[in-house]
Chain A
């Protein structure tokens, strides 16, 4: 008995491998719930409960919005070979940019567009810095973008505790509430700030088109899959990477604006603004396999896990970070399934 590479696995085998591994992940998760003293079935029910009612769906929707925007950008960046781990920081930069416009510029109909522009722009500057460091000096962007996260994190802490601290918030660490012109409209009385949702859907569709139907996307795909070939053809690799990085940072910045202008209505402590969207979106992008369009499916999936995690926390008083366990197991199982579907077992003495 031994393993061999299977160069061309059949479709049903791939399906079987994925089913097997997802089942395995659920089993492990169930075990975890059991150890925690919770009935696995009840926990699964809670995890999926947001699908059951409109309130829950709205919750999934609101979590999906930033994942959609960031995920689409990361799907592009990863495909081009720019491993942007700093979407978290770029999102916070966006929040800072949006808050600046909302708090310090005279309000008017131009406020919201300006917030998105400045927020996205700051996000782009932040990721562009890492891309420039890589192109110019060969600095590894995984490290630079990750470290940049901390810089913005403390920048935001400084702002809300210092110069931007609200006049009437007493001991709390946040700014004043944004004026009405700087607040995004929501669907009914949910927290779904639909303009940002539309931006996210547009981003997924637009990047898909850009990547697969335009000359720029053609060059991006060459560079991402075979940098050697890109060099051989004389493509401007540095410019292409910079552009992809700027776009992904811009979209993360938009997501940051959406969070502060659509949900919190003020700039507050960084951990409360982002909830780890920048990292969760890495999963979204990874699952989308470098296809921005697929983010339209994978972002709601992770959105559901996040919302379901909330339900678990509320109903069973489990720590919210259980969602990381769920997402992590899901990712592991998918990686395992992929490996399995490309191998086969030979039964022979």
Chain B
């Protein structure tokens, strides 16, 4: 059906794809597996007409094709479901779908809905065409993207990390849909860095590493170890065990209420001991961000919060001074891209470097050098602007900065979001080190495996309501999934 031959793409000195060849047949699911930065996105961009390859050719049903633009890709029957839904929030589902159609200058709403219904015949809709997109859940938005992709009757469907915003149940639904499309004869390219998913849905798995295809296996012949070895280039050590928590209570939260748009975050009560990790799961937008922001002093809240037996200070600076570290939801919030690595490492501690009113950059860079080494931050120099660093190294900069003062409590939100396997392993290692040292960790994540691997107790947020916590031993993926989607313990 679709064949890529020896695709090479360079960005300046960086080779994003080197002689990559792929093939996907009608009615087949090809998984493209690789860490972040392995070249998956570049390859998809080439396929969807966003970049032109430097070398190599693309064949569609045996004929060589050029894809100069996304429009051309659509005409050829190649459709893309982007990683993050790119919909116009204020408009209805039908209007968003209409963007993918050639429409007359004027048309009635009813005619549009009729036409959409005709075009989507045979595809279960699953969403209300008249609902405004802003009211949909992340999973429903993705459903709309998928429907939009199907409108043009594609022959090849590309799904770019489609599960990153979905709950386990929604993932299952998506997989059923993929199997259905496969049966209809579509060729599907499924991009992911999650091994379980790839093994569950793919027929064949191509693994990319550092821009090159390092292996291709049939799904039946593949297992996790093999894929990890291909993907990372080595085997991973088993995750270290978390030691049991100590007696001392670090953080006490009683009846916390955080007002926000929609349902407030409420009923949050728990005590966190030294050396304990509390994992909090939840569908995106259930109040996790607001809960962490409230605890980090960024959002007003009601209720009683005590830290090491004392009342909770309410501004981020005093919180940090008293030993509260915070890994923010968005990595971009935790660093200043144009400032150097050294400056970013000193974002909390710069007052320490003031000598006679001026900042002592030499001392700052000396200290940065130490942190860079200790945390294994890969950067050409402490003076390099942070925006030149990879996501994993940016996260290490944030970790190093937040943990340098000997944190007693870490508020970690999506600490490994978008990181590759290697970097995730390192970040997890740092967090466990901290826990062994007697710090408490509040871990908010969308990755249930991460929560289950690191936590002593787990809880969930469901429409702002705090569900749990329950001991880790009594929780598994299914139970956690129920807590997130039904609000039952």
Contact = CB atoms under 8 A, between A and B. Distances in A.
A221 interface: yes
B308 to A, nearest CB: 19
A234 B297 contact: yes
A209 B333 CA distance: 26
A234 B52 contact: no
Interface in A221-261: 221-222, 225-226, 228-229, 231-234
A7 interface: yes
A270 B339 CA distance: 41
Interface string B335-352: 111110001000110110
Interface in B288-346: 296-298, 315-317, 319-320, 326, 328, 330, 332-339, 343
A222 B343 CA distance: 10
A222 B357 contact: no
A140 interface: no
A136 interface: no
A348 B52 contact: yes
Contact of B298 (A231, A346, A348): A231
B354 interface: yes
Interface in A302-349: 346, 348-349
A68 B144 CA distance: 55
B354 A215 contact: yes
Nearest to B320: A234
B8 to A, nearest CB: 13
B236 to A, nearest CB: 31
Contacts of A209: 358
A8 B387 CA distance: 12
A349 B335 CA distance: 42
B12 interface: yes
A339 B269 CA distance: 53
A221 B348 contact: no
Interface string A122-148: 000000000000000000000000000
A218 B348 CA distance: 11
Interface residues of A, number: 23
A226 B336 contact: yes
Contacts of B339: 221-222, 225
A214 B353 CA distance: 10
A51 B312 CA distance: 65
A53 B361 CA distance: 44
Given A8-B12, A225-B338, A218 B359 contact: yes
Contacts of B350: 215, 218
A222 B336 contact: yes
A215 B359 contact: yes
Contacts of A4: 51-52
A214 B361 CA distance: 10
Nearest to B317: A234
B333 A221 contact: no
B107 interface: no
B334 A346 contact: no
Interface in A185-222: 209, 213-215, 218, 221-222
Contacts of A232: 296, 298, 316, 326, 328, 333-334
Contacts of A225: 336-339
A7 B12 CA distance: 8
A214 B359 contact: yes
A239 B345 CA distance: 24
Contacts of B330: 228
Contacts of B348: 233
A10 to B, nearest CB: 8
A8 B10 CA distance: 12
B437 to A, nearest CB: 24
A233 B317 contact: yes
Given A232-B328, A232-B334, A234-B297, A7 B343 contact: no
Contacts, number: 71
Interface string A265-297: 000000000000000000000000000000000
Contacts of A234: 297, 315-317, 319-320
A229 B51 contact: no
Contacts of B244: none
A343 to B, nearest CB: 12
Interface in B350-386: 350-351, 354, 357-359, 361
B358 A233 contact: no
Nearest to B318: A234
B446 to A, nearest CB: 20
B343 A218 contact: yes
A289 to B, nearest CB: 11
Nearest to A231: B298
Nearest to A226: B336
Contacts of B361: 213
B354 A229 contact: no
Nearest to A290: B338
Nearest to A7: B11
B18 interface: no
Contacts of A229: 332-336, 347
Contacts of A228: 330, 332-333
B472 interface: no
A261 B315 CA distance: 48
Contacts of A349: 66
B336 A221 contact: yes
Of A213, A225, A229, A349, most buried by chain B (CB within 10 Å of CB) is A229
A229 B317 CA distance: 13
B82 to A, nearest CB: 18
B337 A226 contact: yes
Contacts of A215: 350-351, 354, 359
A193 to B, nearest CB: 31
A5 to B, nearest CB: 9
Given A8-B12, A215-B354, A221-B339, A233 B316 contact: yes
Nearest to A218: B350
Contacts of B297: 234
A224 to B, nearest CB: 9
B429 interface: no
B68 interface: yes
Contacts of B317: 233-234
Contacts of B328: 232
Contacts of A6: 11-12
A346 B52 contact: yes
A214 B354 CA distance: 8
Nearest to B347: A233
Interface in B242-298: 296-298
A213 B317 CA distance: 21
Nearest to A209: B358
A4 B66 CA distance: 16
Sorted from nearest, which 10 A-B pairs have the closest CB atoms? A234-B316, A234-B317, A228-B333, A226-B336, A213-B358, A8-B12, A234-B315, A225-B336, A232-B333, A225-B338
22 contacts: A2-B52, A7-B11, A8-B13, A215-B351, A215-B359, A222-B336, A222-B339, A222-B347, A225-B339, A226-B333, A226-B337, A228-B330, A228-B333, A229-B334, A229-B336, A229-B347, A232-B296, A233-B316, A234-B315, A234-B319, A348-B52, A349-B66
Given A222-B336, A225-B338, 10 more contacts: A2-B52, A4-B52, A6-B12, A214-B358, A218-B359, A221-B338, A222-B347, A226-B336, A226-B337, A349-B66
